Amino acid sequence: MTPKEVLEMAKENGAKVVDIRFLDFPGVWQHFTVPLSELNESSFEDGFGFDGSSIRGWQPIHASDMLVVPDPATAKMDPFFKEPTLVLIGNIQDPLTGESYSRDPRYIAQKAEAYLKSTGIGDTVYFGPEAEFFIFDDVRFSSGTNSAFYEVDSVEGIWNSGREECPNLAYKPRHKEGYFPVPPMDKFQDLRTEMLLVLESLGIDVECQHHEVATGGQAEIDMRFKPLVEMGDQLMWFKYVLKNVAYRYNHTVTFMPKPLFEDNGTGMHTHVSIWNEGKPLFAGDKYAGVSQEALYAIGGILKHCKALCAFTNPTTNSYKRLVPGFEAPVNLAYSSRNRSAAIRIPMYSASPKAKRIEFRTPDPSCNGYLAFSAMLMAVLDGIENKIDPGEPLDKNIYDLPPEELAGIESAPGSLEEALAGLKEDNEFLLKGDVFTKDVIDTWIEYKTENEVNAVKLRPHPHEFFLYFDI
């Protein structure tokens, strides 16, 4: 879409204002709104000014002025605002030099796509994330000097089976039994369908929606695969739509990986495939019908997994889900069917076009632009350096003897460990100037100071249960 076509679209839809959106460093959408009269064709070159020092992980106050330049290809009409509103996602630039901002996650994703083409390996990389989430009815939390607590609630929560609800009609999924009974056990069929339809009204292709394994309203809606930057944009729309549809009905959606104790956490299994000149690079005659390049790509992800997790599982809460010995995909191995392996080769279809690899470790708390870009760089490093992934792991991991299990490496056990992995292993990310040293250092510093240390320094409520009487 051209700038002129965007202006025509705004007029046709009766838009009165324009909402400009971009992503902060950790991965949350930011926005401001201008009258439609402020948008003209030159706006797509000149941009709009804002204070970059107020955005998390960005500029110091003495160099705060920045520009956000709308991308005409991203134009959509907002489905929630009272007044007709045109939405444009923007790219961040320095107002003095006009250069793209190195810490802008979307720019990093654009550079990753450009680097793929420069290698000659392929011209398009597709990502298909399966972002799970929880739908809750009530959420309360506090963290202070002398107290801390959280409490989430859901009409579906099995913990409410004995609650007086005047009347309590039961039908609450038991722990790990939410995949996937029909209503009335499933309370959110209509809500998820509305989410799906709103996504489709925005031009976002959806493959399915369903309840997930956990009690308490865990769910999944799958988007059809798209190229890297486009999927980064769609993931932001996805989170925005789901939260706002839920909010309409006095529910709340969270993409927090592990909000419930003793039930399944929330992952974002991510399907990856590279194509070149309309042909799938990952289809072949090797294990599970994939190509040698696909096996090398798997080798790259397995080799760099600890560093990748700093972007694909970027919260302290992520590692409440990634715990060895349970169902989480923490084992650094690959398989065609073993879902506890970090990488799976889906076998739903024999078509060469369907051949891809599925990285199961990530979760939806991530900044999609950064996570997808880092995954692509690991895949390309594996192909370029012919990294052997070893033999597939088709055995039941939980039945393996201790000596055999000891030979299988695991994903990091904490955000601190993942950040240490990124600090030691980041050369593959620097190729093509996709990630810069400044981006990596700033990410490690921000996450350490604002999340790792913040959690590490606070007493945990369960520590009072364990230790108060010692």
- Rounded Cα distance between 100 and 107, Å, is 7
Decide: 237 and 76 in contact? Cβ < 8 Å.
yes
- Rounded Cα distance between 208 and 449, Å, is 39
Instruction: Give the C-alpha distances (Å, rounded to integers) separating 54 from 25, 58, 61, 63, 64.
Output: 11, 8, 8, 11, 8
427 is known as an active-site residue? no
269 is known as an active-site residue? yes
- Rounded Cα distance between 197 and 397, Å, is 39
Q: What angle do CA 67, 71, 75 make, to 5 degrees?
A: 125
339 is known as an active-site residue? yes
Decide: 428 and 440 in contact? Cβ < 8 Å.
no
Decide: 109 and 103 in contact? Cβ < 8 Å.
no
Q: What angle do CA 125, 315, 273 make, to 5 degrees?
A: 15
| Catalytic-role residue among 103, 192, 251, 269 | 269
* Residue type at position 220: E
Decide: 228 and 372 in contact? Cβ < 8 Å.
yes
| Catalytic-role residue among 132, 381, 416, 451 | 132
- Rounded Cα distance between 446 and 464, Å, is 29
| Catalytic-role residue among 130, 186, 222, 363 | 130
433 is known as an active-site residue? no
51 is known as an active-site residue? yes
151 is known as an active-site residue? no
| Catalytic-role residue among 38, 41, 51, 433 | 51
132 is known as an active-site residue? yes
| Catalytic-role residue among 358, 363, 381, 416 | 358
- Rounded Cα distance between 125 and 376, Å, is 8
| Catalytic-role residue among 192, 360, 363, 381 | 360
- Rounded Cα distance between 241 and 223, Å, is 13
360 is known as an active-site residue? yes
| Catalytic-role residue among 71, 186, 212, 222 | 212
94 is known as an active-site residue? no
| Catalytic-role residue among 78, 104, 220, 416 | 220
| Catalytic-role residue among 339, 409, 427, 441 | 339
Please give the positions annotated as active site: 51, 130, 132, 212, 220, 269, 339, 358, 360
